[in-house]
Structure 1
Amino acid sequence: MATGRHRPRRGAPAPRAHWFLLIVVLAAVVGLLGLHAVVLGEFSSDENAPQTTASGVPTEVRTGGSLIDARTGSPDVRRPQDKTLALTFDDGPDPTWTPAILAVLDRYHVKATFFVTGAHAAEYPGLVRDIAAHGHDIGNHTATHVDLRSVGELRTQLELRFTDLAVAGAAGVSPALVRPPYSATPASIDDPAWTSIQRIGADGKIAVLSDTDSEDWQRPGVASIVANATPKDDRGTVLLMHDAGGDRSQTVAALERLIPALQAKGWRLGPVSAAVGLGSAGAPAGFGQRAAGWLLIGAVQASGVVASSLIVLLIVASVLAALRTLVTLITTAVHVRRRRSMRLRAVTAAVTVIVPAYNERAGIEATIRSVLASDHRVVVIVVDDGSTDGTAELVEKYVGRRVRLIRQANAGKAAALNTGIAAAPTELVVLVDGDTVLEPGTVRTLVQHFADPDVGAVSGNAKVGNRRGLLGQWQHIEYVIGFNLDRRFYDVLQCMPTVPGAIGAFRRSAVLRLGGIPVDTLAEDTDLTMAMERAGWRVVYEQEARAWTEAPATLGQLWKQRYRWCYGTLQAVWKHRRAVFERGAAGRLGRRGLPYLLLFQVLLPVLAPLVDAAALFGILTSDALTVCAYWLVFLVLQAIPAVIAFRLDGERLRSLLLLPLQQFVYRQLMYLVVVQSVVTAIAGAQLPWQKLQRTGLAANPAKGGS
């Protein structure tokens, strides 16, 4: 975890822009999910509106035919000619039953009118084209199968326009006929139904009800459907059947009996337009309408992909979270057991503590005093990296036998560390940031591991000192869970990817043989750690070597820090990618540490916000319980290792009360950090160093947790 020392450059990405990007992305996902819910009818009610009086309905409408043209002040009511049956199908198209019905109609050379919903037309545009290509009429059955008697004028217009666009985009026609969902015979028209028919007329369309209901939607059996659909006399009729909305196998079988039987009796079967002498059931759609229809269909298709992908992502995220929980439970148990049985020869050699400092006036004195208070022999080297805030002048007060100050022109943290390592008089060096406060036993517990000659570096336990605010608490949770618990895993599997810049110990000779601290990545601590392991050294974790560091106090500062961390980590992973094919310590890093890091620090953070968006959206849909259950499982799988990590670190569990809120707010920023870092890395752009504003709050850590 490095802290940048260079002055900020212009052109660095602003957190506000990324928050805007996050909002746009999540809004797009939620919008597509909402559109998908519309397609599935999850926002619509299937209950009929209660019937009221019919005092306002013209008599000729209630006693006339089932085709009602209310485009003018005087309604035109028509019915099919005698022994003429208008064959109609509602609720489609359906990928299973519509093609089956089309095949039957083709076999008997019969045309029909298919009243499609806009949602299904946009979902299956190819079927709409097939209906038109077979010579059948296409009618409008609203977008979501809503009862038009129970909605207002605006909703009615939206329902009709949505369907018009879907049909125009799919088949290039604009339907003139509308069948209101849940409509029956003309005699059943009440005042709300008449109002909805008038609105249909005002929109330039003709309402089509039915005279005969096959009741196939009840699936009463093939014989019953045929009996219901057979006219009782020779008067012309509009027959209602369905090609979607459930299992329509009985409908298909009934058509095989009904059509030849009626034809044998001299009945003419055809679409509504031909049966009533209307001439045309629609008109060719203009280019603008077709283009808008294409966009609508594209959006609906995309919504289906997003919804399907989201299910997969929910499963993947849950599996990853469960896997992480299982792995951390196992490795943490192993780590605790090993520590209890670990016996190391005491290391008493003096240690050099190197503190690179660039504009660290706020906290440098607390850092020096805490190092000098160590219960192990230490020498302190402070490398002032061209500070402009008087940092060097403060350090001069401590210069003496145990403290040395080196000044240099601003060259970056890695260069400052290399200067300190070159000047260090001891073999063992501890590297700390200029805002870090050590506990008295930190240096001693760190260096004891060097009794093992195979150990080249030791990671300490970095803890958030300024944790009083909400942002500080969230970072505190992240440090304890995301950093220190993972390091126990890395320690057990001997694949530690990072010794944090805030607190870490190294063999000076090993670092020098590697050419010093790397300067070609932004995460020099991760880069150095990986290089140490590829050189054959073991890197271990010491949880008792606590160091209190100052976390960013604002979202802007946090964004700069984590953006650079993530980008630098990706740089280091790419730089050391050949470790996957190497043996020994390098192979353990490449085949254990790097996959774990990429899975849980890159892939899972990307998936997690989508899980949150799905949970929020699920509350508004019929899948609320299922989706929310997934999210709760996901949260529990994060809470389990969180409790374990806090217990192991001796922290109070009450901070974890903020964990659910952290998932919806703090993690979104981390998500953007990962995405932006990946995009930046792929684009090959260079990310400038960012110096954080220090306040010195880490000088007074809340010992014992909070």
Structure 2
Amino acid sequence: MTTTHTTRGRRRAPSRMQRAAGKAAALQKPRVILALLLLLGLTSVMLLDGYLRAEVGGDQRVRTGASSSKVPDSVLDGGPILTFRGGKATTVSVPKKTIALTFDDGPNPTYTPQVLKILEENDVPATFFLVGSMVSRYPGIVKDMVEQGDEVGIHTFTHVDLSYQSTARVDREMEQTQLALAGAAGITTTLFRAPYSSETDAIDNYSWPVYKKLGQDGYTSVFVDTDSDDWKKPGVSKIVDWATPKGTSGAAVLMHDAGGDREQTIEALPKYIKKMKAKGYTFTTISGVMEKQNTGNGRAVTGTATGVQPGAGALNSRGTQGGSATRQVTDRLQAAHHQATGATLYEGKALIVAVAVAEYALPVLSVGLMIVGVAVMGRFGMMVVLARRHYRQRNRRRFGWGPPVTRPVSVIVPAYNEKECIANTLQSLSRSAHPIEVIVVDDGSTDGTSEIAREAAYALGMTNVRVIRQENAGKPAALNNGVRSASCDIVVMMDGDTVFEPDTVRSLVQPFADPEVGAVAGNAKVGNRNTVIGAWQHIEYVMGFNLDRRMYDLLRCMPTIPGAIGAFRREAVLQVGGMSEDTLAEDTDITIAMHRAGWRVVYEEHARAWTEAPGSLKQLWSQRYRWSYGTMQALWKHRKSLTDKGPSGRFGRVGMPLVVIFQIVTPVFAPLIDVFTAYSMIFVDFTAALLAWLAVLAVQLVCAAYAFRLDREKYRYLLMMPLQQLAYRQMMYLVLIHSCITALTGGRLRWQKLKRTGEVGTPAGVS
């Protein structure tokens, strides 16, 4: 016959803590958004870094040998400087005995400063065609370059061949480079040199529209007369010879200060300058060439170009005449430069700051990735080795805890609105092979849970069931009420949505034959595993929880007795003050308290309980968020365990560091692995990154398969593991990040009730 004990009274007004918890709950959505923003920020930093390194977009020429029938002969046969003033294509040649020294592909932190030093020592100006991504990464070099008096032009942002690019891509390449120059040196420029360009006779029908468009935008396109081919590294003497124009012809000479090993260029440059000066040549910039040509025609140069930032005042440059070292400073030589102002200036500075963040963040993240990778692999190794040892130790024929425990035990079932599940729970307990008393503590349910429990107990003929009603006070209070009401010295705690096998209680209490054992963790199983979400959680329970518990048990630092199935000495529970309401993880809290009180906590894998896992992503998020945040609260509450002495300090010395590393720190930074994998697939080597990811997945699969073998589970669920790694694990990362943010901001939450369906019936119905 079912006996009941009811405690009822007037419902009290919410306490100050409950009101604070309600306010904190209202703040969770912003914290979720902040967690997503953190991950988005990390992803953005890596995408920016990959884009800056020009590893997307193809650093290669995409066209070959096209015809040039649409290109005017005057351009094909003209000089290396192409303008479109007045809408008409006009070329400018370099005057005799004049060298317009140009460098491509920079700036480079190793070679460009050496080039600048050589130019300054020899009082020679040059024009540098810069790659925007490199400008963003090394803005200080560009600033020095401009302040030294050299001229700069655009060489696109990512060094991509513009011939087959869309108009939008062409505009983007130019605009981004202008922003980089504005942020680095406070200027914009009207000069442009296309990657992979050479002399004007190489202009074809594919590139001609690009030059026309840029000319209409106010850009001056610059080609070469003489190519040193220094990128081939032919030797210093050949670089000097190939860069020397024939006779007394003037030339726009091409060299490189970046893009590879430029040691030969650095060695050849001073020799080349001395050689050309000895021959009576003048060194000037591209603007200097145009100035000489326009002055010769009796026209003044304004340097104003449409489509680009107008100049508020040109910067100074240097030049030499007749091979002498005499410095001539003139505002007109820097007509290609314009002062960056307004939005262009501020956007440029913002770009430089963002790139600086990416440049510094990536090395730090790389080190973090290495640490996380080692920790993850180390954890897998520890789990497998120690779990195997635990299995062999506990399954020896002669293994035993002591004399069989046959005395009755109390089973406490806290229940809040469990009308769908409570009957199944009691039905499973009615089949227990061990003598028990059942105490159902109804925590202020509003769905008739207590009445259903009484009716179920009556229908099952269970005379060992008591139903206690209390005002809604939370799960810890319900468990404490049950412990106080228990008549046995061993109490088993389970959730109201959980079902036991007939031998569960008997297996669970046998470790209490050892007087040092104060608590026993059982083996929780996912009952509703035949859905995608359920299968993911099933894998997690078998591998992530139970394999972990074998490891912690062997190390004698079990961190958590699961709420679904756990057993305690009643005196031990009372000794540590019962279930605490200080944290959301009352199970972790009391487990650590047991360790600190000197009790041993063990794992009994043969005691199995079947529980209903969350059936939706929203409910799963809510549950795991509570678990994660509650675990952090419990660890912080027991932080002084790190200094505990003697046997009771083992958890602080061993368990606390392992839990912090494996359950908080490593998972928080684990997204680095996935983000870096995606980064590598997009920007580096897709095949190699994919193989690395598959290798890690294979290691996890092997560990999971071993865990399934130990628990005698069916391997077919492992087919869901790849999808679990792609979707489910990412959600768990965000949950943990969300929990960390809540902890750092001081939020609090109450125990949250999950919606149950009652689909987990008796154990016999679970496959």
TM-score bucket (shorter structure): over 0.9
d(CA) in 2 for partners of 1:703 and 1:324? 34
Contact 2:24–2:747, Cα closer than 8 Å, also in 1: no
SS of the residue 2:653 aligns to: helix
Matches within 5 A, 1:47-126: 47=61, 49-126=63-140
Relative distance call for 1:23 and 1:679 in structure 2 (3 A) is: closer
TM-score, reference length from structure 2: 0.88
- Measure how far apart 1:595 and its partner are: 1.6
Aligned to 2:728: 666
Matches within 5 A, 1:402-421: 402-421=464-483
Contact 1:580–1:587, Cα closer than 8 Å, also in 2: yes
d(CA) in 2 for partners of 1:596 and 1:148? 54
Contact 1:361–1:394, Cα closer than 8 Å, also in 2: yes
Between 1:400-409 and 1:201-210, the stretch displaced more is 400-409
Deviations 1:92-137 (A, max 9, x none): 0000000111111111011101110000000111111111111100
Deviations 1:376-395 (A, max 9, x none): 11011111111110011112
Relative distance call for 1:71 and 1:686 in structure 2 (3 A) is: farther
The number of equivalent residue pairs is 700
Deviations 1:214-240 (A, max 9, x none): 000111000000000111121211000
Contact 1:212–1:229, Cα closer than 8 Å, also in 2: yes
Deviations 1:17-54 (A, max 9, x none): 77766665444434333322222221223125212222
Aligned to 2:563: 501
d(CA) in 2 for partners of 1:20 and 1:576? 30
Aligned to 2:215: 201
Contact 1:313–1:611, Cα closer than 8 Å, also in 2: no
Relative distance call for 1:637 and 1:13 in structure 2 (3 A) is: farther
Matches within 5 A, 1:384-463: 384-397=442-455, 398=457, 401-463=463-525
d(CA) in 2 for partners of 1:201 and 1:564? 62
Which residue identity is paired with 1:319? V
Which residue identity is paired with 1:41? A
TM-score, reference length from structure 1: 0.96
SS of the residue 2:649 aligns to: helix
Aligned to 2:539: 477
Contact 1:497–1:529, Cα closer than 8 Å, also in 2: yes
- Measure how far apart 1:203 and its partner are: 2.0
Relative distance call for 1:698 and 1:563 in structure 2 (3 A) is: same
Aligned to 1:45: 59
Which residue identity is paired with 1:287? G
- Measure how far apart 1:618 and its partner are: 2.9
d(CA) in 1 for partners of 2:372 and 2:358? 20
Relative distance call for 1:274 and 1:140 in structure 2 (3 A) is: same
Aligned to 1:230: 244
Matches within 5 A, 1:306-705: 306-341=361-396, 342-344=399-401, 345-397=403-455, 398=457, 401-701=463-763, 705=767
Which residue identity is paired with 2:447? D
Contact 2:32–2:738, Cα closer than 8 Å, also in 1: no
- Measure how far apart 1:593 and its partner are: 1.4
Unaligned stretches of 5+ residues in structure 2: 1-17, 292-300, 302-331
- Measure how far apart 1:139 and its partner are: 0.7
d(CA) in 1 for partners of 2:378 and 2:765? 33
Aligned to 2:353: 298
Relative distance call for 1:164 and 1:472 in structure 2 (3 A) is: same
- Measure how far apart 1:307 and its partner are: 3.7
Contact 2:35–2:737, Cα closer than 8 Å, also in 1: no
- Measure how far apart 1:523 and its partner are: 0.7
Deviations 1:336-392 (A, max 9, x none): 121133223211111000111111111111111211211011011111111110011
- Measure how far apart 1:213 and its partner are: 0.3
d(CA) in 1 for partners of 2:406 and 2:758? 31
Aligned to 1:12: 25
Contact 1:87–1:240, Cα closer than 8 Å, also in 2: yes
Relative distance call for 1:576 and 1:25 in structure 2 (3 A) is: closer
d(CA) in 2 for partners of 1:475 and 1:98? 56
d(CA) in 2 for partners of 1:19 and 1:640? 33
d(CA) in 1 for partners of 2:613 and 2:662? 22
d(CA) in 2 for partners of 1:515 and 1:15? 31
Aligned to 1:166: 180
Which residue identity is paired with 2:424? A
Relative distance call for 1:495 and 1:703 in structure 2 (3 A) is: farther
- Measure how far apart 1:619 and its partner are: 2.6
SS of the residue 2:469 aligns to: strand
Contact 2:226–2:254, Cα closer than 8 Å, also in 1: yes
Deviations 1:583-628 (A, max 9, x none): 2343221122122212222122223333223323433233223333
Contact 1:353–1:379, Cα closer than 8 Å, also in 2: yes
Unaligned stretches of 5+ residues in structure 1: 1-5
2:91 matched to 1:34? Answer: no
Aligned to 1:281: 336
Contact 1:580–1:586, Cα closer than 8 Å, also in 2: no
- Which structure is richer in relative contact order (CA contacts within 8 A, separation 6 or more)? 1
d(CA) in 2 for partners of 1:700 and 1:128? 74
Aligned to 1:3: none
- Measure how far apart 1:441 and its partner are: 0.5
SS of the residue 2:206 aligns to: helix
Relative distance call for 1:90 and 1:129 in structure 2 (3 A) is: same
Contact 1:92–1:114, Cα closer than 8 Å, also in 2: yes
- Measure how far apart 1:437 and its partner are: 0.1
Contact 1:310–1:614, Cα closer than 8 Å, also in 2: no
Contact 1:26–1:613, Cα closer than 8 Å, also in 2: no
Which residue identity is paired with 1:343? G
- Measure how far apart 1:401 and its partner are: 3.4
For residue 280 of structure 2, the aligned residue among 244, 248, 266 is 266
d(CA) in 1 for partners of 2:576 and 2:393? 30
Contact 1:211–1:238, Cα closer than 8 Å, also in 2: yes
For residue 142 of structure 1, the aligned residue among 156, 159, 167 is 156
d(CA) in 2 for partners of 1:652 and 1:475? 14
For residue 133 of structure 1, the aligned residue among 147, 171, 184 is 147
Which residue identity is paired with 2:729? R
Contact 2:239–2:265, Cα closer than 8 Å, also in 1: yes
d(CA) in 1 for partners of 2:35 and 2:23? 22
- Measure how far apart 1:406 and its partner are: 1.1
Between 1:215-224 and 1:581-590, the stretch displaced more is 581-590
SS of the residue 2:207 aligns to: helix
- Measure how far apart 1:646 and its partner are: 0.7
Which residue identity is paired with 1:571? Q
Contact 2:87–2:216, Cα closer than 8 Å, also in 1: no
- Measure how far apart 1:631 and its partner are: 2.2
Deviations 1:461-491 (A, max 9, x none): 0111111110111111111111101000110
SS of the residue 2:197 aligns to: coil
Contact 2:438–2:465, Cα closer than 8 Å, also in 1: yes
Aligned to 2:310: none
Aligned to 2:6: none
**Aligned-residue RMSD, C-alpha:** 2.0
Relative distance call for 1:343 and 1:700 in structure 2 (3 A) is: closer
SS of the residue 2:374 aligns to: helix
d(CA) in 2 for partners of 1:133 and 1:236? 27
Task: Give the % identical residues.
Answer: 48
Aligned to 2:194: 180
